[in-house]
Chains A and B, each alone.
Chain A
C-alpha cells in the first residue's frame, strides 16, 4: 500500500526536477550550438529577406508598368513651323484655325498671340469691336480694335492679350516669330514664349 506521504514525496521530486530544468533552460547556452535546432536569428533574417525580395519584385514590376505609360517618343506635330509668306497676312489680325494662333500685322511689324485661354486651354474667339476702344493697360493707354473672349468660362482679354475679366490668371501667350532664310516664310515657335513687347520688323 502506498501512503499519502509517498505521493507527496514523488510530487516534490517532480517539482524539483521541473524547476531545475526551468533553471537550465533559462540559462542561455554559452558557446554552445544546438545541432539541428532552429536558429532564431537566422530564421528571422531569412524571413525578412524573403518578404523584402517579394516586395522589391512587386514594386519593380509596378514601377515597370507605370513607367511604360509615360511615352519616350511623341509623334506630335513640331512646335516650330512655317506659317506662309508674309503677303498672306493682311493688316490687323488673322486667325490660323489649325495652329490655334492669331498673327497680327501692323504695316511691316508682326506679332503672334496664342489662342489658347490661359485659364483652362479653350480656344478664345476674336471679337471685332464696332468702334476702337481706349483702354489702360499697365499705366499705358492703348487703342484696341479687337478683344478676345473665351466660350468656356467667360475670360476676356484686351487686344494686346491682357486679361481683364473672368477667371483667366494671366495674359495670352506671345510666341516668337522669325523669317525663314530659305524662302522668306514666317516661322512661329510655339515652344518659345516672348514678352508682350515683342515685334518682328521686316
Chain B
C-alpha cells in the first residue's frame, strides 16, 4: 500500500512536486488524520481516529453492507437531511418570514434570483423524498423484525431505537408541514387553517393549542413567524439530536439486526478457540462482569475493514441520492399557488400527497351516536393517528416472535404480524391514492379518468 503510494507520487512528478510545495496533503492530514494507515488493522484504527468517520466501527460484517437487506434507507434519509440542511441554510438568506413579503420573496426566488428555482426545487424534492424514504425505512425495519433484541448483549435496546425512529418519522412530517406553509400561498393558508382546527378539535387542550400555534385567534404574522422558527430551528435541532442518538444506538445494539443470525448459527456450532485477540470498539460496556456464555465471533474471519468497504458504499449512496434529487428537481418544477387569500378556499383544497390519507380520514369519520355528533377532525385527525402511533411505539413490547426471525425478510414466524402491518400500510396507501386521484371539486369522488366538473371559483 505504502510503496504503491510512493511510486504514484514519483510517476506523477508535476502534481507530486506541486503537492509537496504547497504542503497540501500533509496539512490536510495533520488536521484530520493523526497518521497514515499501513495495515488493515491500522486502517481500522484510522477510521476511529478520523474526525469525520469516528462513528463507524473499525470493521463491519459483509451482510450489513448488503444492498438488498436494508436498501440503505436510513443512510439515504440522513443524506437527504444533509441536502435539506444545506439548501435550507441558503434559502434562509433569501426568504423573508413576513405575511406581506413571504410570498413575494418566494416568487423572487422562483423567477428572479439566479438558480433560486433550483435551490427551492431541490429543497422541496428532497423533503418529499425524505418523507417517502423515512416511511419506507420504517416499513423495512418492521418487516425484518429489526426492532427486536437478539443475543443477550449488554446494553442492547432495539425497541428504544424503534421508538426514536417513530419520533423521527413524526418530526419529518412536522418539518414538511411547517415547510410548505412558508411560501404563504393558498396551499399554506388553508393547510394552517385545517391543521390548527384539527388541533383545536381536541377536548380541553384543543383551543389553547390552537391559540399558541397561531399566536392569536386568526392566521396572521404571529402564526408565520412561529412556524418559521419551528421549521428552521427547533425541529431541525430535534432531528439532529435524535438522528445522532439513533445512529449511536445502532452501534450499541450490536449493528444491524441482520447480523443476529450469525450469532444464532455460531451458538449451534461448537466454539473453537479464537485465534486472535478480539476487541470491540464499544469498549467495556455497563454490567458487572463479562458474560462468558456469550458467543464470540471471529472478527478476522467474518468482517471487513470499514475503509474502504463501508466508506466507498457510503460515497455511492450519497452521490446516488444527490443525483436522483437533482434529476427530479430538473424534471419537476416546484409549484407556487396564488398568494394566500382568506376569502377563497381553492376547490378542491388538497394537502400534499403524504397528508391526503389524513384528509380522507377526517372526511369519513364524522359520526353521530345518540344525538351527539363527533367531529371527524377529532376521530380521523387526532384519535386514529394517535392510536397508530401508540401501536407502533408499543408493538416491540408485545412481539413474542422467536429470536431466529430477527433480521430476515418475510420470516414465517412473524407472518401474522407482518400481515397486519402490511394491511395498515396498504390502507394508508389506498386512502392516499383516493385523495390524490379520485377527489375533485367539493371533494366529490371522481374516477381517475373522469373529467372534473368546472366549479365556480368565486362569487
Contact = CB atoms under 8 A, between A and B. Distances in A.
Contacts of B377: 119-120, 167
B343 interface: yes
Interface string B429-443: 000000000000111
A76 B442 contact: no
A69 B215 contact: yes
A76 B359 contact: no
B417 interface: no
Q: Does more than half of chain A's interface fall in helix, strand or loop, or is it mixed?
A: loop
Contacts of B375: 119, 167, 169
A151 B364 CA distance: 15
B208 to A, nearest CB: 8
B343 A122 contact: no
Contacts, number: 105
B363 A167 contact: yes
Contact of A71 (B197, B216, B363, B366): B216
A69 B222 CA distance: 10
Contacts of B343: 97-98, 100, 123
The bracket for how many chain B residues form the interface is 35 or more
B366 A168 contact: yes
B444 interface: yes
Interface string A91-126: 000010110100000000000000000011111011
Given A119-B377, A122-B349, A167 B365 contact: yes
Interface string B344-369: 11111100000000010011111000
Given A69-B212, A153-B362, A122 B194 contact: yes
Contacts of A168: 366
Chain A contact-residue range equals 20 to 34
A69 B215 CA distance: 7
Contact of A154 (B197, B222, B442): B442
Interface of B: 190, 193-194, 197-198, 208, 211-212, 215-218, 220, 222, 226, 342-349, 359, 362-366, 373-377, 441-444, 455-456, 458-459
Q: 7 nearest interchain CB pairs?
A: A154-B443, A151-B347, A97-B343, A167-B366, A167-B376, A153-B363, A169-B373
Interface of A: 69-71, 74-77, 95, 97-98, 100, 119-123, 125-127, 149-154, 156, 166-170
Given A100-B342, A152-B348, A153-B363, 10 more contacts: A75-B220, A97-B343, A97-B344, A97-B458, A123-B343, A151-B346, A151-B443, A152-B194, A167-B365, A167-B366
